[in-house]
Amino acid sequence: MLAPVNGTRLEYDIRQYKSRRNHRIEEADGSTKVKVAAGSIAGTVLPMLTLAKSQKCRLYNIKYGVKEMIFVSAGSIAGGLAAGLICDKKEHRKQKVNESVFQFMNASVPPLLTAALYSFGKNIKYRIASTIVGLFGGMHIAAKLSNKINDPHDKVPDRKLTFKDSIANIDDALGVLILAKVPIAEKLHVDKTLPAIYSWCGYRAGISN
């Protein structure tokens, strides 16, 4: 609320900006959710089929490095976005595209940063430090980059990382553990869960309103 020099008070509705900043969304209907889920799963499976063919193995036995992680996550997000754009209201398209950028950056920047840090040394203490820096630093860099891409002129408050984002970013944590070749990660076969988590990222992008 502002008070100009003429004494007239003007009121501005800032709810739309608060909603963007805190990632509050208008709930998508059930039909849209189902179609977006299907699109995200299809977008996940197609890159996996390509990888399985190139590695000459079954889908379950795909070996994931940085390139494979980015390839599958990009497919998941593209599938969820495509389904969302086709099935949902036109006025929600920009939000879906913006969220897709945010999800892709979150899925790709942390493992890229971590892999780059790992290349400087193999000492276990260094790798632990690199894992922490790569994961948390990468998430914040990803948020900054996506906000810059989605809103280059800084017209609205930045999209902030939320608690739900932290849960969804378990893919980053698992990806980093795989890259670090942590023994427990290999024993538990945590890489097998990556496709499901990437599908969730694609789903979030597709239903974002």
pLDDT digits 0-9 by tens, 128-151: 788 788 888 888 899 899 989 988
**pLDDT at residue number 118:** 82
* Domain assignment present for 4: no
pLDDT in tens, 150-172: 888 777 767 666 656 655 566 66
Residue position matching structure tokens 């869960």 = 193
C-beta of residue 186 within 8 angstroms of C-beta of residue 160 = no
32 within some domain: yes
- CA-wise closest residue to 174 among 204, 198, 194: 194
Query: Quick check: 123 pLDDT over 70?
Result: yes
What number is the average pLDDT over the span 184-204? 81
| Residue 13 confidence (pLDDT) | 47
The answer to whether residue 191 sits within a structural domain is yes
Residue 25, SS3 per DSSP: coil
Mean predicted confidence (pLDDT) in 23-51? 87
Query: Cα(38)–Cα(17) distance, rounded to whole angstroms?
Result: 31
How many domains does the chain divide into?
1
**Residues facing 35 on adjacent strands:** none
Per the structure, the complete domain to which residue 173 belongs is given by 26-207
Whether 5 is covered by a domain: the verdict is no
Q: Residue 79 pLDDT more than 90?
A: yes
**Residue ranges of the alpha helices (H) in 92-169?**
93-118, 124-132, 138-150, 163-168
Q: Does residue 179 have a pLDDT over 60?
A: yes
**Highest mean pLDDT pick, 119-128, 178-187, 199-208:** 199-208
pLDDT at 63 over 80: yes
Tokens describing residue 127: 């790798």
Examine residue 13 and state whether it is found in any structural domain, yes or no.
Answer: no
Long-range CB contacts for residues 118-123, cutoff 8 Å, separation at least 24: 118/179, 118/180
Q: How far apart are CA 119 and CA 93, in angstroms?
A: 39
pTM summary value: 0.78
> Does residue 81 sit within a domain?
yes
Residue pair 71/194 in contact by the 8 Å Cβ criterion: no
